[in-house]
């Protein structure tokens, strides 16, 4: 097999496996789902019920690095955020109109539990407020910090019927880490919780056929 | 034993990769189905702004008093912002004769960036530049895009968080009703 095709296969193989795995459907009600996001071509994990949809799509570290360098970040700072397990997130109130239950999301209540560390204990996310303090110390430009502030998902947000928002979420874990994610929100003030299991941060390393055994 | 190493990207992958690299956050999430605007209780006064557009022309909210204003906050790197722009242009064409103005405030980007964006997304409504993001922070905005509908008295009447298909008659009729 030509080396280029081998590498292509190495990259696409895990994605294909994920796509073909008979997991719960992406549209399953009251159930987590995972698969390949058709727009991004990358793995996603999602929760959906009648009122709320929470979808997390993996971002490649180089994709995030390139995005923030293009917004004016230094390569050092862009690398720091790129290597902190960034996902694209879309969160939506699935109701319509004023009568729909109100969804309140508060990312300070979400927790990650690393799976491959036997001592891994639940921990909070790396939120935009903490990052912004770092960018101030690093003397990143105003334009870069504004873009960062608006491209990360808000820490707290209220969603009324039909509202949605999108933005990046940084989980503060090294590339390739697998973890369980505890999602928490309120529906008309009532606490709700769901767990996305086996979420995986994108890796910077790609397994290739050149070094693999036959 | 298998080894891991940094990939040497073959060219077909490089094309895909560059497309990803140049893209912003992916999967915009589209406005779909039954759309709505959320009424804002008690209609507080809309914060004033005094900005410049990419051609250095002044853009002030006060200049629109007496009109209903669809006031959008956006950025070029924001996929759902880009996605709703064509429908905003169609909405602008549909309502500009009805005493309704459409204004889209760009958050944090310079004139060159916006001019470049306009080559792919030509729009005719005003695009004031909120270079230091002070204006967007004076409004109750959590994410981009967010759009407010301001009544002719300069009060915040509705908000839409996330993108919409703005030429939807259902939405535009809600705005038109503010003029009655």
Compute mean pLDDT per 10 residues along chain B, 180 residues long, and list them.
Answer: 39 44 43 76 97 97 96 94 95 94 96 95 97 96 95 96 93 92
Residues of chain B contacting residue A3, judged by C-beta atoms under 8 Å apart: 10
CA-CA distance, B140 to A209, in Å (whole number)? 52
C-alpha separations of B125 from B31, B98, B100, B173 in Å: 21, 15, 11, 19
Looking at residue A31, its pLDDT comes to: 57
Looking at residue A107, its pLDDT comes to: 97
**SS3 of B171, please?**
helix
Residues of chain A contacting residue B22, judged by C-beta atoms under 8 Å apart: 66, 70
Looking at residue A30, its pLDDT comes to: 52
Task: For helices B79-95 and B169-177, give the axis angle rounded to 10 degrees.
Answer: 60
Nearest CA in chain A to B14: A8
* A73 has a pLDDT exceeding 90: yes
- Please state whether the peptide bond connecting residue B142 to the residue before it is cis, i.e. omega within 30 degrees of 0: no
Residues A166-188 have a mean pLDDT of 96
Residues of A (98-137) whose Cβ lies below 8 Å from B: 98
Burial of A129 (0-12, 13-18, 19+ CB in 10 A): exposed
**Which residues does residue B167 pair with via DSSP β-bridges, in sequence order?**
none
Closest CA to A152 of A97, A195, A197, A107: A107
CA-CA distance, B49 to B54, in Å (whole number)? 16
Q: To probe the interface with A, which of B15, B38, B146 has the most A CB atoms within 10 Å? A: B38
Contacts of B125 (CB under 8 A, 6+ apart): B88, B89, B92, B101, B102, B103, B104
Q: To probe the interface with A, which of B26, B37, B80, B83 has the most A CB atoms within 10 Å? A: B26
A72 phi and psi, to 5 degrees?
Answer: 110, 5
User: Quick one: how many helices (H) and strands (E) in chain B?
Assistant: 5, 9
Reported ipTM: 0.73
Could A151 and B25 be called an inter-chain contact, meaning their C-beta atoms sit closer than 8 Å?
yes
Domain ranges of chain A: 3-200
Could B160 and A163 be called an inter-chain contact, meaning their C-beta atoms sit closer than 8 Å?
yes
């Amino acid at each position: 097999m030509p080396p280029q095709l081998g590498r292509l296969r190495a990259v696409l193989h895990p994605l294909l496996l994920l796509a073909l795995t008979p997991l719960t459907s992406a549209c399953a009600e009251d159930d987590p789902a995972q698969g390949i996001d058709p727009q991004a071509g990358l793995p996603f994990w999602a929760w959906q019920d009648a009122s709320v949809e929470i979808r997390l799509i993996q971002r490649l570290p180089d994709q995030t690095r390139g995005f923030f360098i293009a917004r004016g970040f230094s390569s050092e700072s862009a690398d720091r955020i790129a290597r902190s397990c960034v996902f694209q997130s879309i969160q939506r109130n699935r109701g319509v109109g004023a009568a729909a239950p109100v969804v309140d999301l508060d990312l300070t209540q979400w927790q990650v539990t690393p799976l491959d560390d036997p001592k891994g204990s639940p921990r909070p996310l790396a939120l935009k407020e903490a990052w912004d303090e770092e960018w101030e110390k690093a003397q990143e430009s105003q334009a870069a910090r504004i873009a960062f502030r608006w491209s990360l998902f808000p820490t707290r947000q209220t969603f009324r019927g039909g509202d949605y928002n999108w933005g990046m979420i940084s989980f503060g874990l090294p590339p390739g880490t697998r973890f369980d994610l505890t999602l928490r929100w309120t529906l008309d003030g009532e606490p709700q919780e769901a767990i996305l299991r086996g979420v995986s941060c994108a890796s910077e390393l790609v397994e290739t056929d050149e070094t693999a055994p036959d | 034993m298998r080894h891991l190493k940094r990939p040497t990207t073959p060219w077909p992958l490089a094309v895909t990769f560059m497309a990803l690299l140049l893209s912003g956050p992916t999967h915009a999430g589209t406005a779909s189905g039954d759309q709505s605007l959320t009424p804002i209780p008690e209609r507080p006064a809309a914060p004033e702004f005094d900005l410049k557009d990419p051609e250095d022309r002044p853009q002030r909210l006060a200049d629109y008093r007496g009109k209903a204003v669809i006031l959008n906050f956006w950025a070029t790197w924001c996929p759902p912002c880009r996605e709703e722009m064509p429908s905003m242009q169609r909405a602008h064409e549909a309502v500009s004769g009805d005493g309704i103005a459409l204004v889209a405030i760009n958050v944090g980007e310079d004139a060159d960036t916006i001019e470049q964006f306009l080559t792919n997304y030509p729009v005719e409504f005003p695009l004031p530049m909120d270079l230091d993001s002070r204006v967007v922070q004076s409004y109750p905005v959590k994410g981009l895009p967010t759009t407010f509908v301001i009544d002719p008295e300069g009060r915040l009447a509705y908000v839409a968080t996330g993108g919409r298909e703005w030429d939807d008659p259902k939405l535009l009729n809600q705005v038109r009703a503010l003029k009655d």
